[in-house]
Structure 1
Amino acid sequence: MPLSDTALIPRADLFGNPERGGCQISPCGRWLAFSAPRDGVMNLWVCERGADLAEARPITADRGRGVTEFFWAYDGVHLMFMQDSNGDENVHLFAVPTAGGETRDMTPFPGVRASTFPAERKHPGTLLVMLNKRDPRYPDIFRLDLASGELTLVMENSGFGGFVINDDYRPVLGMQPQPDGGMALVKLDGDKRETWRIIDECDVTNTRPASLHADGRTLYMLDSRGRDTAALVSYDLLGDPDKGTVIAEHPRADISGVWTDLESHAPIAWTATFERREVHLLGDQIRADVEFLDSQNLGEWSVASRTSDDRMWTLRVATDVNPPSMYLYERDGMVLTKLYDMLPKLAGAPLAHMHALTITSRDGLPLVSYLTLPRHAEVPGQPLASSEPLPLVLLVHGGPRMRDAWGFNVTHQWLANRGYAVLAVNFRASTGFGKSFLTAGDGEWGGKMDDDLVDAVSWAVEQGIADRNRLCIMGGSYGGYATLWGLTAHPDLYACGVDIVGPSNLETLAGSIPPYWEAAKNQLYRMIGHAETTEGRALMRERSPVHRAGRIARPLLIGQGANDPRVKQAESDQMVAAMKANGVPVTYVLYPDEGHGFRRPANNIRFQAITEEFLAQNLVGRSEPLAPGEVDGNTAVIVENSLT
């Protein structure tokens, strides 16, 4: 059938505010809290469990970027949420009474970034907070009294990148970055410091504490030492750090998630993802629950929140063609109740399936990838075949130490609905596939990491899925860098590219690292070159797209947030200036109230509309005209425009 037979899914239904966001049950089990629009901006709402959701009442009145990330305090009074200012990532912690009342900024310090440790049931009226107001690089630990707002210093940070805290809110272990890129795990006892274990540079990314038992001495770690994939290992902090007990391991993937008992903090289940997520149980504590939920044909489900007695859970449920829904699960009696669909406007929409596959790179690495085809081109019974060669968008994830995974993805659905095949590739340096796969990306920005992307595109062309004359590379952050590099390294391969907050000059990127990234700086240097060595600076310059801008021969669209602290506006400005100096046309969209990506729906939808027009011109797909009011309030500034 032709593409025109597939109904056009409105952009606003995909990228606008959900009708409701995630749901958290209160520790006592009486209340449900969720985010939902109030006057067009996401805010927090609460209602009693079992009540009609129409009876929920809003308890915040944000008019800016919205409130979406939140959690319950154990005091029975407050909901807590985090929010920055226009994308600057100087996140503040806010508290709002669930009964209604004033929203308080609990960390009201300009230019200071806050983070929290998990709330502890034993200390219901307090939280442990980290603030970098003394030293922007290393945040100190404070105890926050929720009623008064008083902050009491617990520990001054003398150079640790993270901490393990016990049930009494006492730091017992600190992670201290080493000059060679390794990490020391240091036991903390008041003013005493004792190095317990050194993690080698090659293991740093895959080896980290997962939880501390309530006994205060049994440490559970994700650990790749002596193996390739990260296993779950327990250690006695009072014993030999070289003698751990392996609890679980996976032959092809890192253990990436651990479910713990709420009281003892001992692991009760673990997850790992190669192509698709796997859940493995440790003992029988939740076996009946997992078997029951798996029997309900929900798709992939995960626990979003738990009551303090662990008898009730909220679940987030989705598949590749079913947008997320929220459920309440009562373990007593195994009662499962659907609460709501997050995106009910997509009910009945012509959504496309995502297929997992593994492509082999030219040097033999397995590249776990995900392919979404437009519905009109699907071949029944052949998930990796297309009825015709299609325009293809290579969607490159950021990080790069992140990964793509199977599931519902609005960007895949949007592009497939517009007529494009979508291919997402876990290139080397992606996480989840073991340390050798991860470290294979060291020094390979613009090198073998780019080869992996080209190999995946070549596979799609050879399979008859992609039209070799209609290929686009697109991505954000590292994916934006990959776009810029791909257009300079392969001027005839891609018909166009879309770069969103991507670095163009690795030297200036390294020179503008936010201070709170100090602990992870050596990891970046391993990937792009060390800024303090002649060889490292030479590699950075060689692999910087800004110095190769004259090689670009195909249209480029750039999107940037003016407040981005990670990839500063100067990265996009430099690239645009270099292209103009070389007479290469470019379209450049700047958002003065955004950071590392576009969070406000009006801004995000506006950029997707520009991208649709750009792709339609260069790949001959279809686009949706702007609807009245669709992007009201957006702040896009079109700095350069080469669109016709």
Structure 2
Amino acid sequence: MFSPDGKNIAMLAAGANDRLVLAVMEVDKLKPKIVAGYEKTDVVFFSWVNNQRLVFGVGDRAIGDGDRDRGNGLFAINKDGSELRELIATGDTGGKFRVLNGYHDFLDVTHVPDSNDVYITRSTGTRKTPSYTLMKLNTQNGYNEVVQTPTNSVSFMIDKSGEVRVAETSEDNLSAVHYKDPKTQQWRKLIEYDNVKGHGFSPAFIAPDGQFYVTAAKKSDTVSVFRFDLEKNKLDDTSIVATKGFDFHGNFVFNKKENKLLGIHYESDAFSTLWLDEKWNSFQKAVDAALPNTANLIWGPETANNDTILVHSFSDVHPGSYLLFNTETKKFVPIGDVHPEVNSKTMSYKDFVRIKVRDGMEIPAYITLPKNSSGKNLPMVVMVHGGPYVRGGHWEWNRETQFLASRGYAVLEPDFRGSTGYGTKLFRAGWKQWGLAMQDDVTDATKWAIAQGYADPKRICIAGASYGGYATLMGLIKEPDLYRCGISWVGVTDINYLFDVTWSDTSGSAWSRYGMPLMIGDQTKDAEQLKATSPVTQAHRLTKPLILAYGAADRRVPLVHGEQFKKAAPKDAKIEWITYPNEGHGWRTLKNNVDFWTRTEKFLNENTAVK
């Protein structure tokens, strides 16, 4: 990341003992210097405060969620490593003079060149009604003050003059967007809407010139970027960025010196950029011509127009590289690779497809075929994403997909109905369809891969985590002739447990009271459906080999899910039961990841017999 003036670049890099450290490098000297590095912890995030000072947080990547009893804290340091100051403690109590406790979190910098201030938030609500207090914190002396914002605020947006300009509030199922008018210094409500049913808009960006951009689905199935006219209190008629078949997801590139928005990075089936500035469009063309096989996202410093810009280059087979590009000489200088040990030449390509399912709806999917294979009649793993109300597939390097492909497996990643990122129709078609049409989509995608000749119908395994683990169990139960085996980790086994297990982080939340009844099912009105589509009630039908894995410290899908399914399954069921005592909702530690995927490889070999 550039310093605001573009003279330095800060980065996270691997240091001693494989710990992440914070390093700073002068652009004209290209010699990184470690300014913050520790033996028993990692630097996990950072941001420039101004041209001289940075803030950063720490964490331990070597431990599981069950062992984490501290937050990331917040520390400030000069670019030369001097004047280190603790601002937010990693634990519950600060203890020192002007050190805040761990219930505070970093939000943003002020984007003002001479300011030493940053914005932080403090959790002041409850799980039932979350809310946050906004505070401004001086990184040199620790002085802090509360910033006035609307009641029940849950998120904030800082403009490029360093003032809080937008706040989102939430109470029960109602959300609202508020704007602080710079002329009156008063907050006014721009919109209020049902955050479960939608029909609102979300704040996206405030440009240096004060223009306000939002994302909304206006007269379209998909979400696009619009300018919000603050004088007329309405969206412009025409969108800034609209991608057919995809909801907008991306970020904004700006320059304060030029006082404008330069361009917008976005994702469709892959990643690209819409440039609103012709000079930057020419930079993009030059970079793409030199690096033709990757997505290339480019940035410059906030407050300068230097000849050097930063390039993030990546693809489905390349985890990513960072380079400097001189716009005058057209020369590149490599900074570093995300995973330098990965050889892109041995990785497998990922293709985006749309698959027509039984009711005529099209679902997106990514298919990866093993490199140097025939691409036909392959053993296949159907990877079902978690969420389920997220986008699962992306055109980028994925370690799990590449691991399986390197072992000879085709990998199918369907974005079944209920997935987000592809429009309202696909998303809402998944409401109350756990185990029903959502599961049918996975089944139909699997049959599509067979029909295309990619998959050997006798050697297919279904796998996934969280909701994907749920779909794995339902797939084995509903389609015993389609799948040879299943791999379910941190998977839901009873939908009612999501409501009733009091130590789950969903129990009692606004999501459980408003979102889940509408999108998953009402415990009273849909009682029979929830019972019929809960794997634990159908466990007696399990006939195929299964890996069933959980983290004992998981608060999203607690261990009881797995225990009850294992108890209800036939006594002769071939279940490989795995628990990791200190892991939560997924595996964080290298040791457990190696153990799980080693077991997975062996399990697949035993049940799909790779030829």
TM-score category of the 2 structures, normalised to the smaller one: 0.7 to 0.9
Provide the rounded CA distance (Å) in 1 between the counterparts of 2:521 and 2:305.
47
CA drift of 1:267 comes to 4.0
CA drift of 1:26 comes to 3.1
Provide the rounded CA distance (Å) in 1 between the counterparts of 2:305 and 2:605.
51
Change in 2 beyond 3 A, CA 1:506/1:37: farther
CA drift of 1:192 comes to 6.5
Structure 1 position 362 matched with structure 2 position 358: yes
Change in 2 beyond 3 A, CA 1:300/1:330: same
Letter in structure 2 aligned against 1:544 = S
Structure 1's unaligned 5+ residue stretches are 1-23, 379-385, 623-644
CA drift of 1:178 comes to 6.0
1:61 maps to 38
Provide the rounded CA distance (Å) in 1 between the counterparts of 2:49 and 2:289.
33
Provide the rounded CA distance (Å) in 2 between the counterparts of 1:214 and 1:519.
35
1:99 maps to 80
The superposition leaves residues 510-545 of structure 1 with CA deviations (integer Å, 9 ceiling, x where unpaired) of 3433589747963444321245xx115554433322
CA drift of 1:350 comes to 2.3
User: Does the CA contact (< 8 Å) of 2:134 and 2:148 recur in 1?
Assistant: yes
The counterpart of 2:384, out of the listed 377, 386, 396, is 396
1:576 is paired with a residue of what secondary structure? Answer: helix
Letter in structure 1 aligned against 2:295 = E
Change in 2 beyond 3 A, CA 1:222/1:503: same
2:109 is paired with a residue of what secondary structure? Answer: coil
71-80 or 290-299, larger mean C-alpha shift: 71-80
Structure 1 position 72 matched with structure 2 position 48: yes
Provide the rounded CA distance (Å) in 2 between the counterparts of 1:134 and 1:27.
35
With structure 2 as the length reference, what TM-score do the two structures score? Answer: 0.85
User: Does the CA contact (< 8 Å) of 2:363 and 2:415 recur in 1?
Assistant: yes
The superposition leaves residues 141-185 of structure 1 with CA deviations (integer Å, 9 ceiling, x where unpaired) of 122221233442224773333233334554443333465x45332
User: Does the CA contact (< 8 Å) of 1:32 and 1:49 recur in 2?
Assistant: no
Provide the rounded CA distance (Å) in 1 between the counterparts of 2:508 and 2:590.
28
Letter in structure 2 aligned against 1:506 = I
The superposition leaves residues 306-338 of structure 1 with CA deviations (integer Å, 9 ceiling, x where unpaired) of 454253443221222333111123445544222
CA drift of 1:495 comes to 1.3
1:117 is paired with a residue of what secondary structure? Answer: strand
Structure 1 position 239 matched with structure 2 position 232: yes
Identity of aligned residues (%): 25
Provide the rounded CA distance (Å) in 1 between the counterparts of 2:493 and 2:371.
36
Provide the rounded CA distance (Å) in 1 between the counterparts of 2:579 and 2:192.
44
Provide the rounded CA distance (Å) in 2 between the counterparts of 1:612 and 1:186.
51
User: Does the CA contact (< 8 Å) of 2:12 and 2:43 recur in 1?
Assistant: no
Provide the rounded CA distance (Å) in 2 between the counterparts of 1:269 and 1:249.
14
Letter in structure 2 aligned against 1:99 = D
The counterpart of 2:432, out of the listed 439, 443, 454, is 443
Structure 1 position 457 matched with structure 2 position 446: yes
Provide the rounded CA distance (Å) in 2 between the counterparts of 1:286 and 1:605.
43
CA drift of 1:242 comes to 5.9
Q: How does 1:307-326 map to 2 (within 5 A)?
A: 308-309=303-304, 311=306, 312-326=308-322
2:341 maps to 345
Q: How does 1:83-94 map to 2 (within 5 A)?
A: 83=59, 86-87=64-65, 91-94=71-74
CA drift of 1:583 comes to 4.7
Structure 2's unaligned 5+ residue stretches are 93-100
1:140 maps to 133
The superposition leaves residues 183-207 of structure 1 with CA deviations (integer Å, 9 ceiling, x where unpaired) of 3323457996643223455773983
CA drift of 1:472 comes to 1.0
The superposition leaves residues 293-312 of structure 1 with CA deviations (integer Å, 9 ceiling, x where unpaired) of 11112511224774542534
With structure 1 as the length reference, what TM-score do the two structures score? Answer: 0.81
Provide the rounded CA distance (Å) in 2 between the counterparts of 1:559 and 1:103.
42
Change in 2 beyond 3 A, CA 1:368/1:271: farther
CA drift of 1:550 comes to 1.6
The counterpart of 2:263, out of the listed 245, 266, 269, is 269
Provide the rounded CA distance (Å) in 2 between the counterparts of 1:255 and 1:372.
24
CA drift of 1:565 comes to 3.4
437-446 or 452-461, larger mean C-alpha shift: 437-446
User: Does the CA contact (< 8 Å) of 1:86 and 1:595 recur in 2?
Assistant: yes
311-320 or 168-177, larger mean C-alpha shift: 168-177
CA drift of 1:220 comes to 0.7
What is the number of residues matched between the two proteins? 584
Provide the rounded CA distance (Å) in 1 between the counterparts of 2:227 and 2:318.
38
The superposition leaves residues 93-136 of structure 1 with CA deviations (integer Å, 9 ceiling, x where unpaired) of 32252434767361445396554333222173121112215545
Letter in structure 2 aligned against 1:577 = K
1:71 is paired with a residue of what secondary structure? Answer: strand
1:550 is paired with a residue of what secondary structure? Answer: helix
367-376 or 147-156, larger mean C-alpha shift: 147-156
User: Does the CA contact (< 8 Å) of 1:501 and 1:560 recur in 2?
Assistant: yes
Structure 1 position 602 matched with structure 2 position 591: yes
Provide the rounded CA distance (Å) in 2 between the counterparts of 1:183 and 1:583.
50
CA drift of 1:50 comes to 4.9
1:363 is paired with a residue of what secondary structure? Answer: coil
User: Does the CA contact (< 8 Å) of 2:176 and 2:190 recur in 1?
Assistant: yes
Provide the rounded CA distance (Å) in 2 between the counterparts of 1:265 and 1:591.
52
User: Does the CA contact (< 8 Å) of 1:255 and 1:271 recur in 2?
Assistant: no
CA drift of 1:424 comes to 1.0
Letter in structure 2 aligned against 1:259 = F
User: Does the CA contact (< 8 Å) of 2:58 and 2:74 recur in 1?
Assistant: yes
Change in 2 beyond 3 A, CA 1:313/1:450: farther
Q: How does 1:371-386 map to 2 (within 5 A)?
A: 371-378=367-374, 386=375
1:638 maps to none
Letter in structure 2 aligned against 1:257 = G
Letter in structure 2 aligned against 1:393 = V
2:413 is paired with a residue of what secondary structure? Answer: strand
User: Does the CA contact (< 8 Å) of 1:144 and 1:150 recur in 2?
Assistant: yes
Structure 1 position 213 matched with structure 2 position 213: no
Structure 1 position 40 matched with structure 2 position 18: yes
Structure 1 position 426 matched with structure 2 position 423: no
489-498 or 456-465, larger mean C-alpha shift: 489-498
CA drift of 1:245 comes to 4.7
1:402 is paired with a residue of what secondary structure? Answer: coil
Provide the rounded CA distance (Å) in 2 between the counterparts of 1:301 and 1:103.
36
Provide the rounded CA distance (Å) in 1 between the counterparts of 2:425 and 2:174.
16
Provide the rounded CA distance (Å) in 2 between the counterparts of 1:348 and 1:221.
37
Provide the rounded CA distance (Å) in 2 between the counterparts of 1:172 and 1:517.
28
User: Does the CA contact (< 8 Å) of 1:254 and 1:272 recur in 2?
Assistant: no
2:241 maps to 248
The superposition leaves residues 21-42 of structure 1 with CA deviations (integer Å, 9 ceiling, x where unpaired) of xxx3333422432221421333
